[in-house]
Structure 1
Amino acid sequence: MANIASAGVAPLWRWLGHQLAHPEGGGGVLVGRAMSLANRAPYRLAIGALRPAQRDRVLEIGFGPGAGIAALAECVPGGHVAGIEGSPAMLRLAASRNRGAVAGGQVELREGDFRALPWAGASFDGVLAVNVAYFFDAGGAAASEIRRVLKPGGRAVLYVTDRSTMARWPFAGADTHRTYDAAGLRRLLVEGGFRDADIRVVAHRLPFGVEGLVAVARAA
């Protein structure tokens, strides 16, 4: 009976994994709203590590429902916040949440591919990616694009949940999630063009036994 029950639940976990990778439809909207709650602590850690200045230009990769965009906009009242997202459903949610900042020109949100960012090189003082690197391409193009659009001296901050925690979550299968330990997260950034000496990875203990990793990489 246990095996039958597990078999019945497996498609639900696969559905959730795919929705986290690319939210769509009504289910994607529900998942996106849940992401806003689950990502509160990761965003605090990641934005704290990014330390954006008031006039900085910052970019968020995979902004989901837009909570991080809103937080970044508060940090850079004299600057500019850009974001790129692959899910039209999340773009609509984020645009609604940040309607005033978008209308005022402080925030710019685009739908697109992380592997081909639609901005010129050296455009940003900081780049943020929270719980998104699981969906980066294995060829390293997304990480290389992050390095390309950073100004010299700019910082990229990536937050991921450590592989040891992800292994307990049945929705985070290899068909949807690329998981990391500290060494793997560092390797992703090195392969993207950051110098190893300019990368720092710090582990954090979050509620419910979650191990988080925050990587800060400075562009030479």
Structure 2
Amino acid sequence: MDFEKIAKQLAHPSGAFGIEVALGMNKMNKFISKTTYELLQVSNADRVLEIGPGNGKFIKDILNSGNNIYYTGIDISETMIAEAKKINDNLIKAGYVDLILTDVEKMPFLEEAFNKICTANTIYFWQNPSAVLKEVYRTLTKDGLFVISFRPYIKGQSLDFSEYGFTEYKSEDVEAIIHQTEFKIIEKREQIESPIEFNGQIHNLTSQYYLLQKNYC
């Protein structure tokens, strides 16, 4: 596939090609998504929000973490919401999954609606990261947990998407954004992922994970 053509779809997959790109994203994001879910420590009766679930292939992994878990996924892509609804049709009908087309800066949820919130590989596309984190803060419970995961920019190692609408962040950039909010970092992890093939090349990527809670100090 053409690298530019793929890159332009990642922020907002659309149409038949967007569906195809999403299948590739599942392979690319399997490690970072599953690690994010593990760190989220989902358990019985949790109310989980995921920002940017793509085609929703991994939603079942969250629900398998316990009993009576209620999951909400939001995305700006109509194509991804439609695909996620197809893949998770039974879970939606059972009342455990809700998928909503919306902007993360203006989420249609009450305050403290969720006690677990996560997002993997979406920060690059946020127009106003501080506004997004403020909205996440509003919808997270007082004792809730927010996990934000991304692949930091490392010269010579990172995939270069900067020309295609991505904002590439170094670790210190993300920490600076977090420190401008009322969140506190309770843990930071870094992982070297298994080799990934993309655009005909093998990449050994690094992913980072920030575990955040509300700061009441």
Does TM, scored on the shorter chain, surpass 0.5?
A: yes
> Which residue in the other structure is 2:212 paired with?
217
Q: Deviations over 1:152-206 (max 9, x none)?
A: 1111111101211686424x115411122222222232334313xx342211111
TM-score by length of 1: 0.87
Which shows bigger deviation, 21-30 or 172-181?
Answer: 172-181
Structure 1: how far apart are the matches of 2:192 and 2:87?
Answer: 29
Structure 2: how far apart are the matches of 1:168 and 1:130?
Answer: 16
**Residues 81 and 69 (structure 1), Cα distance of their counterparts in 2 relative to 1, 3 Å cut:** same
Question: Helix, strand or coil: the match of 1:183?
Answer: helix
> Which residue in the other structure is 1:3 paired with?
none
Q: Pick from 7, 13, 33 the counterpart of residue 3 of structure 2.
A: 13
- Equivalent residues in 2 for 1:87-106 (5 A)? 87-106=77-96
Structure 2: how far apart are the matches of 1:173 and 1:109?
Answer: 29
Consecutive unaligned residues of structure 1, counting only runs of 5 or more, are: 1-8
Conserved 8 A contact 2:151-2:205: yes
Q: Deviations over 1:70-100 (max 9, x none)?
A: 2212224312101101101111111111111
Structure 1: how far apart are the matches of 2:41 and 2:114?
Answer: 13
> Which residue in the other structure is 1:4 paired with?
none
RMSD of equivalent CA atoms: 1.9
> Which residue in the other structure is 1:183 paired with?
172
1:152 aligns with 2:142: yes
Q: Please state how far the C-alpha of 1:17 moved relative to its aligned partner.
A: 1.8
Structure 2: how far apart are the matches of 1:203 and 1:36?
Answer: 20
Percent identity, please.
22
> Which residue in the other structure is 1:6 paired with?
none
Consecutive unaligned residues of structure 2, counting only runs of 5 or more, are: 196-203
**Residues 51 and 90 (structure 1), Cα distance of their counterparts in 2 relative to 1, 3 Å cut:** same
Structure ranking higher in helix proportion: 1
TM-score by length of 2: 0.88
Q: Pick from 28, 43, 46 the counterpart of residue 18 of structure 2.
A: 28
